[in-house]
Amino acid sequence: MTGSRERDREDATMTDPEVQLVVCPDGPLLVRGAIDLRDDEGNPIVSRRRTVALCRCGNSAIKPWCDGTHKLLRPHGGPAS
């Protein structure tokens, strides 16, 4: 029988070829594919979209999703995150 800790370790080393992550410079993390997204209490966050944009700047009004606010915060040519 596999314990929870061992299972977590196995999950961390597995990659799903159907899931793609794209880090947008100064913007969101794009997630393409089916993922099991959870909030900080472990509750599922459901999206019907195949591609979602997760806010990385912390300023979105619709967290965890990006609402484009990051574009207003960093002037063009500013340092990359």
Residue whose CB is less far from ligand FES, 3 or 79: 79
Q: How far is the CB of 70 from ligand FES (least distance, A)?
A: 4
**Do the Cβ atoms of 28 and 66 come closer than 8 Å?**
yes
Residue whose CB is less far from ligand FES, 18 or 40: 40
User: Tell me, what DSSP letter sits at residue 32?
Assistant: E
Question: What is the contact surface with ligand FES in residues (CB under 6 A)?
Answer: 27-28, 55-57, 59-60, 66-70
Amino acid at 39: D
**Do the Cβ atoms of 27 and 66 come closer than 8 Å?**
yes
Q: Coil, strand, or helix at residue 35?
A: coil
Residue whose CB is less far from ligand FES, 31 or 55: 55
